[in-house]
Amino acid sequence: MKNTLEKLTQAGIVPVVTIDKASDAVKLARAVVAGGLNCIEITFRTEAAEEAISLITKEFPDMIVGAGTILNTNQVDRAVKAGAVFIVSPGINPETVKYSLSKNVLPIPGVSTASEIETAISLGLDAVKFFPAELNGGIKAVKTLSAPYPDVKFMPSGGVGIKNLKDYMLFKKVFACGGSWMVDNSLITEQNFSKITELTKQAVDMVTSIRSGSNDRDGNNCTVPARPSDPKPFENTKQRVVTFGEIMLRLVPEGYYRFVQADRFDVSYGGGEANVAVSLASFGIDAAFVTKLPKNDIGQAAVNCLKRFGVDTSLITRGGERVGIYFLEKGASQRASKVIYDRAGSAIQKASASDFDWDNIFYSAGWFHFTGITPALGDGCAAIALEACKAARSRGLTISCDLNFRKNLWTREKADTVMSELCKYVDLCIANEEDAKDVFGIESEHTDLNSGSLNHDGYIKVAQELTRRFPFGKVAITLRGSISASDNQWGAMLYEDGKAYFSQTYNVHIVDRVGGGDSFGAGLIYAILNKMEPQDAIELAVAASCLKHSIEGDFNLVSLDEVKSLAGGNTSGRIKR
C-alpha cells in the first residue's frame, strides 16, 4: 500500500475515467501511458468498470490501476479480483476502509470536513481524497482543513482541471490531483485517443514544471529571491506572526540555590521564539509557534503550556525522541547566573526539511520571526531555517531575526558563516550589546561591557555597518548596563532610515532576566505591526522587556495596558487596588 501511494505521489495526477465499453479500456490506457502517466482510476459507475480494470491490468501489468466510486465491500471484492490496487470512495465508510485494508489495497476515501479527516486518521490513514474539491472551497479549503493535521496528505478531485491544477500542486500536502478533463467520456466515445494523449502530456508537463519550479523556489543556490513588489517590508497588512524554534523544559533550583545545593527544581517551559509568540499572544496578536516535539506526555505538556497563553500550536510537528532541557542557576549580587544545556538529540535538533510545509505554515501570515539559536542547533536546523526564510521572502512576509549568539552552541566563525547567509533575507535585525561583535565582528567603540559603560555613538556605527552589510530595514539593539547580577540598567536603540532612536533607561532590579531580549523583540514587532512611530516603538519594546525582568519564568506574562503605562512614564510600581 505504501508503494502504491508513493507511485501515485510520483505521478501527481490520477485520471478519473467513466467508461461505457470495456472494449475501449486498453486503447484508453495506451493513450494515457503514451501521455506519460502510469496510473488510472476506473469508476464503478458503469457495468463495464470491472472488466475494464481486468483488461488494463492484464495488458499493462505495471500500471497502477484503481477503482473509483466504491460504495461497499462487495464492490471492493470485485475491484480487487479484477486487479485494482487502490480503492477510491466519494465519502468515508469505515466498513469499506477496514475491508480494503484487510485486502491489502490502498483505500482513499473522500472527505470534506475536519470530523471526516479525524475518522480517516482513526482508521490508520494518512491519505484522503478531498471531494468535491471546488464546490467545497478549492485549495483555500484544503489549506485550512490541513493545518491541524500535519501528517495527512490530500488528493483533491471534483472540479480540478488544467486551469487550476497549478494552485493545487503548489501545495505540498497535495500528493496528487484526480481529474477527468484529459480522459473526458466524449473523447472516448469519439475514439479520439490521440487527443487524450495530448491532454495527458499537457497535464504531466505542467506537474513536472510546477515541481521543478518548487525546487528552484526552495533553492539550492545562494541567490536571494526577489521580494514581491507588494507588500513592501513592514507593510504587510496581515497581523498573523509565525515564530520557529525550540521550546525546552526549564529546570530551576528554588530561590537562589546553586545546582550543587538543589534537591528539587521548579519546572516550566521556554525558548527564544516560543517566548516571543507568548508575548505577542498576550498583546492580542495572532501568534503561531512552529517546532517539532515528541509524541509523549512531556512534548504534550509543552504544547499545553503554549496553548494556555493563547499561542496557535496547530502547526507543530510531532515526532522525535525527546524535549530539550536547560538548567538555570539564578545569580545574585556579584555572582553570575549559569545555564547548562541538555538538548542534544532533541526532536527539533533532529528534524528534517520534510517535517515543515512552509507554504501551509505561512498561509495567511504576514510576519516570520526566528533567532540565531535555532540554526546553532546543527546544520540540519540551519538548512530548515534557510528554507523557511526563502519561503517567507517569496510570500512577501516581513522577516525578523534576533541574533542571540550562544557560545555553548557554536563558534563565532560558524555563526558568522551561517548567519551571514540567513541575514540576506532579514528585514528587522535584533541584537543585544554583544551579538554584533560575537557573530559578525562588529564592535562598538569605547564600550566596556564589564563596567557597564555603553557608548551610544558606537552602537549607531554598529547599526550603520549592519545595514551596510545586510539588507536590514531596521536594526534594534538592546543596551544592558550590568551593575551586578541583581541590578541592571536597561534601554535600547532603534535604527532606521539613517536615524537612531534611543529609549529611556530603566534601573531594573532583577527577578528573572531570561527572556528579556525575547520580550523586547515581541514588543517591537507589536509596535511595528501597529504602525507606531520609531520613538514610540522603541519605548514600548523596552518597557515590555523591563517588566519581564520582574516575572519568573521565560514568558513575559504582562498585559499590553501595563506595558503602555510604563512606557508612558508610570514607573512608581505602586500597588493597584
Q: Is residue 284 part of a domain?
A: yes
The DSSP secondary structure of 128-159, one letter per residue, reads EEETTTTTTTHHHHHHHHHTT-TT-EEEEBSS
Residue 505 has pLDDT above 60, yes or no: yes
pLDDT at 468: 87
- In the listed set 183, 218, 253, which residue is the last one of a domain according to the structure? 218
Same domain? For 137 and 208 the reply is yes
Same domain? For 139 and 269 the reply is no
pLDDT at 239: 84
Q: Is residue 107 part of a domain?
A: yes
Q: Is residue 231 part of a domain?
A: no
pLDDT at 150: 86
Q: Which three cell numbers stand for residue 328?
A: 538555570
Q: Is residue 235 part of a domain?
A: no
- Count of structural domains, the chain: 2
Q: What's the CA gap between 225 and 223, in Å, rounded?
A: 6
Residue 245 has pLDDT above 50, yes or no: yes
pTM (2 d.p.)? 0.62
Tell me which of 7, 129, 153, 390 is the catalytic residue: 129
Write out the residue range of the structural domain in which residue 543 sits.
Answer: 241-567
Same domain? For 344 and 477 the reply is yes
Same domain? For 250 and 108 the reply is no
Q: Whole-number mean pLDDT of the chain?
A: 91
Q: Is residue 442 part of a domain?
A: yes
Helix (H, G, I), strand (E, B) or coil at 460: helix
pLDDT digits (tens, 9 = 90+) for 163-198: 899 889 988 899 999 999 999 999 999 999 999 999
The mean pLDDT value for 328-347 works out to: 92
Q: Is residue 33 part of a domain?
A: yes
Q: Which residues are within 8 A (CB) of 172 and not within 5 positions of it... i.e. 6 or more apart?
A: 214, 357, 359, 360
pLDDT at 432: 85
Q: Taking a C-beta distance cutoff of 8 angstroms, is the pair 325, 302 a contact?
A: no
Q: What CATH number should be reported for the domain holding residue 172?
A: 3.20.20.70
Q: What's the CA gap between 547 and 561, in Å, rounded?
A: 12
Catalytic annotation present for 41: yes
Tell me which of 41, 246, 433, 539 is the catalytic residue: 41
Same domain? For 205 and 101 the reply is yes
Same domain? For 429 and 387 the reply is yes
What Cα–Cα distance (Å) separates residue 371 from each residue in 271, 361, 364, 415, 430? 10, 18, 22, 12, 9
Q: Is residue 328 part of a domain?
A: yes
Q: Which three cell numbers stand for residue 425?
A: 533575507
Catalytic annotation present for 295: no
Same domain? For 252 and 109 the reply is no
Q: Is residue 13 part of a domain?
A: yes
